[in-house]
Chain A
Amino acid sequence: MFDVYEKLVHNDTHFLLNKMLIQFLKMHEYKLSSKRSIKILAISLIITLCSVGGSYAQIGAEQINAFKKKQFSSLLAPNRKHMNININNLKFSDALYRISNKASVGISFSPDIIPAYKVSLHLKNVSVYQALYKLLSGTGLQVVLPKTKDVLVIQKKTQNLGLKNKQETVSGTITDAQTGDTLPGVNVILKGTTTGTSTNATGHYSLNVPSLQDTLVFSFIGYEKKTVPIDGHRKINIELTPKTISGKSLVVVGYVKLKEKNLTGSNVQVSGNKIEKLNTVSTLDALQGSTPGVQLTKTNGQPGSGYKVNIHGMGTIGNSNPLYIVDGVVVGNIDNLSPSDIQNVSVLKGPMAAIYGSRAANGVILITTKHGQKSQKPTITYNTYYGWQNVYKTANLLDAQQYLTVINEGMVDAGKKPYDITTMAHSLNGNNNNKLVPLVPDASSILAGNDEGTDWMNAITNSDAPIQSHAVNISGGSDRTTYSLGLSFKSQDGILGEPVASHYDRYNVLINSDHTILTDENERSLWKVGEHITYSFNQRNGIAVGNGYWNDIYDMESANPFLPIYGAKGLYSYKIPWDHLQNNPIATMVNSRGLNKSKNHNLTASFHTTISPIKNLEFTSRFSTNVSAGSYRSFTPTYNLGSVYDATTVVGNSKNSTTQNMNVGLNWIWENTLSYEFTVQGDHNFKVLAGQSAEKDGLGQSLGGTNTNNIFNQFKYAYLSNTPTISSSGGTTISGSPWGRGGILSYFGRLNYNYKQKYLLSAVVRADGSSNFAQGHRWGTFPAFSAGWIITREPFLNSSWLDFLKIRASWGKNGNQSIPNFQYLSTIQTGGNAFYTYGDKTEQSPGAYPNILPNPGITWETSTQADVGLDAHFLHSRLKLSFDLYNKETDGWLVQVPVPAVAGTNPPYVNGGNIRNRGYDIKVGWSDQIGQFHYSISGNASYNQNRVTKIKGGGTIYGASGFYGNNSSWYVAKEGQAAGSFYGYKTDGIFQTQAQIQAYKNKKGQLIQPNARPGDIHFIDLNGDGKIGPDDRTEIGLARPPYNFGVSVDLAYKGFDFTFLGTGVAGNKIVQATDWNSLNDPLANYTTGILNRWHGPGTSNSMPRISLNGNASNNNFSDMWLQPGDYFRIQNLTLGYDFKHVWQDMPVQKARLYVTIQNAYTFTKYRGMDPAIGYAPDSWSQGIDLGYYPSPRTVMFGAELKF
């Protein structure tokens, strides 16, 4: 019987799948007429939908039902849930099934030993063992644990009858070493024999042994095996220590795994289940709302776009990205990782991240991918969904009538006559013809209100844009080997950009396995090897979403509605001279920007070996490499545009252009660690680790070229080989360069100590040398210390309502070295405004100049962080609370401080100033059940206060300017303010009357705004110098929200599950730049926000007059252009039903169908399309809506199967 089971375990996966499929088909055939046929049809429907064969584990006559059980550890963990059993007159075998289902635990038995009678059983709050003991009592059957340890086996109590000379009896009670709970069902075996028994419902055992000199072996699922010599004792009580299964009770905190309860740093964990359940495209999407202290903002909503991530505030205006480590491998980002491959995410927020010293100043995100577990049957999960995405809030642009009204008001304001678009004429074909035609096509229809003109944004909207995903994971293990395989595919269309709408596809492969090569006589592993490989391939194309000069959405928002989309011959229209700068934005998007495709391959492979010559001493060596390759193509075809006045066409572009780029390269890292765990005098527990690592990155190169005259005129032929001639007159460029190489050398150590698991101490130190700095400035040392006290383990605190209370504190230093290499030298640039032509006009002479001022003293940026926190569980662990208070001071941030142009070249990177981040994170959760109704509600909130405390040389670092209509800088880093906060004039509404302007005087009685007119903005003379000038500017709003919060609700009733996830921010501002632009470029279109403009006393106090003269002072950047950025978004609503609940004999463990709505609704006062705006031209600010690609609202249906 066991042999059959073993075979099952060791069969390879394909075989198993096939076998299951055959079984399923057989069953389907012969049971079709039974009363279950409808259920089976339903199952087959699910299976067909999911396009993977189902399974039915009926193996021959023996009927071994071996259901996969995943939640072992939670069952067996000290605080496991007990259950209620209600069995009414069921067949004995069905009763067993019921209990096994209820407990999600596999039970195996041979049908011929099972009694034929029916049973009833009613139990409250019992464990699976207690239930089985009750059921089996009097049957002569018992529960035992086979060698493979992951199903319970029902067998006859005859095992020890073979012993003829029973001489002695040994008995005792077995308890959990941590909780003291008694453990029923523990196997007690006489070493070297098959003789054994198991403990009863009260954890008691009694075994006849031949001699009191023998040895007993105690084993139990989820616990460490213990071998105990009897040594003459008749009573042996044993404490078993829970085995820690990865990702559940252990947390990876940097080279070591620690029990969550014993952590002393500030961390947050998110389980893979939770991530997977949200069905997001990227992992970071799923972290939003569940990770207090981690601020995630999308840079734009285009498929495949990344996030801005700030952990415990932004510590630098240089590179503030956290360090990402996937299974020990440092990677640049985790955008390529499939959420379905993730077992666990651990975010190190606090100072203890210092074990990653050099790059940990901005926190560390540690990802563990799915691994198999020892002695785990093959488990196959399949998850798929298909969804439809739509724009959830439209841009509200003016239609042609509204636009004309507004423009004409501006004309009148400027003292001009309003436009009469029906009589405005235009000379056809420039100078060659004097024939005049109406300038605005269809002007009379527009005037009559019959034609609303072109809604450009609507024209590029891709309705019901599809999104789909398939993910399969197979994992399992024997006692020496574990494995996990993942395969997934995701595809997402963009909601904007028709007919060249954005698109993103991603394929992921995961292969993880670990093998024990050598063990000692006690089966303790001496030598282990393993590998972790993730591969991803993605391809994407997109529209322009950059600054005001490279942003198709901005172009749609600002294009006037008078221009029709199409002109003569069905071609895109040629511009009309109404606004001479404005081309047909769709034609530009389609022809010049939208034809592109990038493909990226990313392979992360890590090989590790662990040698443990003596117990608890482990040497691990890990070599990892990250190989990436990418290609990009883009194409601008030759094309014609159609006149909107007659049947002629105009050459839009006479020379096509093909661009092709490729890059390939890798980085590698080799780490060695030596760790030792030991206990002194029983209660002093130590874990020490020393390590070293060497890393090289940027070992790669890029190659690219652009050429004209592609012999085909289509994107699909956009390869340089199709451009056979080099154009001597321009249009040909080539490039090829190595990646920027760098290296880091590190030595680190770690000590963890606890006394009786009550007083916890931890210390880490790391020294890093970075090639980014000059000799003498390369090395940085980063120590950190932390301490914790689990008060509830003190005898004096024995409260019935407080189950667990830990207070903890930590302090440490982290570094940051993220700058380009060679900043300590002045590099010489040879391209880019360096050429000149002497004499021969067809021959360029190369020039060269230093493109940066050197800074030989540049060195590490250091952040010093202190954190205090507590974790508490109340009311039988139903209420959990975690709280962190932190203060993080960053010294010497690495930044290119802009200098006045007088300096003559680019400024160097400097250790430019200090930033302080302070704040708190709080997380509260309640979970309980009422009958079969399980519910949990959790909420988290974090607050961060960011202050620039010092800038080298004092003053202000200005953000980018000129990114939108030649604007000035809108955000700054300035001493005493939050870095990246908006900077401009404070206003006091709009001057309603001339009298108000006259009354606005300085001390000398002069008018403060002498040139203002009613309808202009009333600026506040902040510095009191009697006039309005640049010195009156100040911080006018926070760009990054100080408050972030998330709420989640999970409900489960019988087979139903429901999830609600909401996220929100508060306290920040957003610039809706289209409003501002309306003053800068008065002929551009407006959003309906402009309808609230001032047009007479009392009409508006929040939007100034429109004037076609240009309102030069009104478009000074001021708080008038800021809108509140607070929002609360219903991020995810999911309703699922597990059909396993009604059809329990379905051959799957889980057959869940669900419907999800992502981004269901957003409560906000912001008028634009999406308030979650991560964009700013510099990485250190955000909240600037220049035309922001919004996140879609997605409705999706999915299925989840588990075999």
Chain B
Amino acid sequence: MKRIAIYLSVILSFVLLWGCKQNFLDSQDLTQKTSANFYQNPSEAEQALTAIYSMYCKAMDPNNGGSIFLLSEIMSDEGFSGGGQHDNEAAIDQWQISKQNQYDAVWADYYQGIFRANTLIKHIDQVEGWESKSKKNQVEGEARFMRALDYFDLMRLFGGPVNGKMRGVPLNTDPVKTVYKRASVDSVYAQIAADLKFSIENMPSVAYHELEPGHATKWAAEALMARVFLFYNGQAYGRNYSHSATMPLPGGGKITNDDVVKWIDDCISNSGYQLEPTFGNLWPYSYKSPNNNYPYAVNNNLEWVGDDGSNGGNNPEAVFQIVYSTFGGWNDNKSTAYNNSIALFQGIRLQQTLPFGYGWGFDTVSPTVYNTTKWFENGDKRKKGTVWNVNDKTEGVTPSYQSGGDLWEETGFWQKKYVPIYVKAPASAGATGNIWNYSHEIYPSLTYNRQIDNTQNLILIRYSDILLMAAELGSPNALTYLNKVHKHSGLSPYGGVTEAEIRHERRAELAFEGIRYWDELRYGTMTSDLQDESGVTIWNAGSKTKYKPRIDRFKATKGFLPISEKQITLSKGKLKQNDGWSSGDRFYEGD
């Protein structure tokens, strides 16, 4: 008996194991959805869309090595690099780099955003359960808008010349088929145009305040189309813009100037956006705190329109903006991409006053901006509304500004649009010097940390710009539009529209908003603008010296950034470097 039992158990064991079926090896992912079961419902489509915006925040974060906003400010004639003596950003002011692979991360961020958009666009037709067709069109339109914006930023930063001929960046629209070679300029712009055209034609025409802020809209698409059209037809590509300009579409179609004018006029008439009459009210320095007052703001009777969208969005000029939040931090879920790090970078260096708070001192303002009428005519209210002259006692800034330290390219002038604005803090807050960012008053849950508490939104397309682009594109209402904007200056209106007047108005109205550099490139004025800056007085770590722009480097690079060598190597040489970035003088040797 015993033996039989033993033999039976032997047989049983074998049978049991042989019985293990194929499904023994099947397993299920319990923490992540997979491509097999995602993109099924509208909520998942919206999550996919959110991840695209999220990645754009990262690309815009200067902590990540490159931010098109901050870089364009530093490269433009309105701002110098500023920052500390050993900061890497100083190099790009001279179209140089201070380390290899300096702009690797920003390049990667844009392509991650594009990948996320490509994936959503590819799968959106399998999503079921939309409450309406227009809801689906809204989501797809946003994804296409963001893809267009990512490509446009990439083109402006990296789409430079190769052996003297302008080249595009690698163009990918399918998430699983990746092309590493650089496309032609036209094919990238055609793709941008096609995406924006889709967004314009399909997204619902809903007034902006009926939409949740932060989302791209039909209006933003119309505006971005105009900006892309003007840049594409500018001097950066050797074109002299005229009203007969066109931009290609994939497969041979074209977008004409008239199309663009039609769309931008549609935006102006139907979006609900309008001009804020008082220029200063657009910026947080006009924030009215129960605990504080900035004498300049008080004296000019300013009150900030705010940028909190919780009551429907109350900045009437913010056509497309990055919504910054209270989720700044140093990990993935709370990162420096989610607060306005540009404001931190551009704040005065390592000191704090009321109202200008703690920052790292980048984007110091060229004295030319303040001291000449190239930007602001005499009496233009926007001058003091935009620039702080540290020696101007009427500003009422306390305590007084300290110059020197390790600040580079110091000028004594700071822009006011994107800087930390401070108010008095309760003693219990434990804030350094008992002053802190105004955001703490509005959002009590915000952690006190001077490096992550800037919540001001970054307006990438402002209504004034739309009006000025419409004028430039030859809208029938050009003069009206120009004078609407000009009202911000408090000066008398223009009698007629000229190219020069529009350009001048853009310079004054849109200073320090990440616009100027691209205007210089498309107008082709960079070389002469740089000559104007040559020899102006600056202080490097407290030593007085003269600013020496590297016009030769601008000419060598045409103003575009290097693709990181790491990417070129990874592409096994398929990716070609922009001109000017292979020679030894690409490396910054200091001033």
Task: Give residues in A with beta carbon < 8 Å to B.
Answer: 414, 427, 430-432, 434, 518, 526-527, 577, 580-581, 611, 613, 619, 621, 654, 670, 672, 674, 692-694, 727-731, 733, 737-738, 741-745, 769-771, 775, 778, 821-822, 825-842, 844-850, 853-854, 898-905, 953-956, 958, 961-962, 966, 968-969, 1009-1012, 1027, 1029-1031, 1080, 1083, 1108-1110, 1112-1113, 1116
Contact = CB atoms under 8 A, between A and B. Distances in A.
A833 B566 contact: no
A839 B29 contact: no
Nearest to B351: A431
B20 to A, nearest CB: 5
B38 interface: yes
Nearest to B307: A841
A674 B175 CA distance: 51
Interface string B292-333: 000000000000000011100100000000011111110111
A730 B329 CA distance: 7
A963 to B, nearest CB: 12
B25 A770 contact: yes
A731 B212 CA distance: 28
B27 A846 contact: no
Given A821-B27, A902-B180, A969 B566 contact: yes
A1178 to B, nearest CB: 15
Chain B interface SS verdict (over half): loop
Contacts of B406: 577, 580
Contacts of B214: 836-839
B118 interface: yes
B445 A842 contact: yes
Given A833-B332, A847-B51, A839 B6 contact: no
A1110 B97 CA distance: 11
Contacts of B217: none
B100 A845 contact: no
B454 to A, nearest CB: 11
Given A430-B351, A840-B310, A848-B33, A904 B115 contact: yes
B26 interface: yes
A828 B215 CA distance: 22
A729 B570 contact: no
Contacts of B48: 847-849
If over half of A's interface residues share one DSSP class (helix, strand or loop), that class is named, otherwise mixed; here it is loop
A520 B463 CA distance: 98
Contacts of B308: 839-841
A1106 B101 CA distance: 22
B130 interface: no
A253 B102 CA distance: 53
Nearest to B215: A838
A733 B329 CA distance: 12
B326 A841 contact: yes
A1011 B572 contact: no
Contacts of A821: 27, 29
Interface stretch (B7-15, B413-421, B465-473): B7-15
B51 A848 contact: yes
A842 B326 contact: yes
B55 interface: yes
Given A580-B406, A827-B29, A838-B323, 6 more contacts: A414-B590, A825-B36, A836-B214, A837-B214, A841-B443, A842-B326
B578 interface: no
B303 to A, nearest CB: 20
Nearest to A612: B6
The 8 closest A-B pairs by CB, nearest first: A904-B115, A839-B309, A847-B51, A1011-B584, A1112-B587, A847-B50, A901-B108, A832-B332
B493 interface: no
Interface stretch (B334-342, B375-383, B506-514): B334-342
Interface string B41-59: 0001011111111110110
A844 B3 contact: no
Nearest to A1112: B587
Of A427, A431, A771, A1113, most B-chain CB atoms within 10 Å: A431
Contacts, number: 313
Contact of B399 (A432, A827, A828, A832): A432
A868 B102 CA distance: 52
B399 A833 contact: no
Nearest to B2: A518
B125 interface: no
Contacts of A826: 34-35
Contacts of B587: 1110, 1112-1113
Nearest to B14: A672
Given A427-B402, A745-B25, A903-B178, A849 B30 contact: no
B53 A729 contact: no
5 contacts: A611-B10, A839-B213, A841-B323, A844-B327, A902-B575
Contacts of B323: 836-839, 841
A902 B170 contact: yes
Given A431-B402, A738-B30, A728 B445 contact: yes
B104 interface: yes
Residue from the set A432, A969, A1112 with the largest chain B CB neighbour count within 10 Å: A1112
Given A654-B430, A828-B32, A966-B101, A427 B404 contact: yes
A839 B309 CA distance: 4
Given A432-B433, A838-B323, A849-B116, A1110 B571 contact: no
Interface string B73-91: 0000000000010100000
Contacts of A611: 6, 9-10
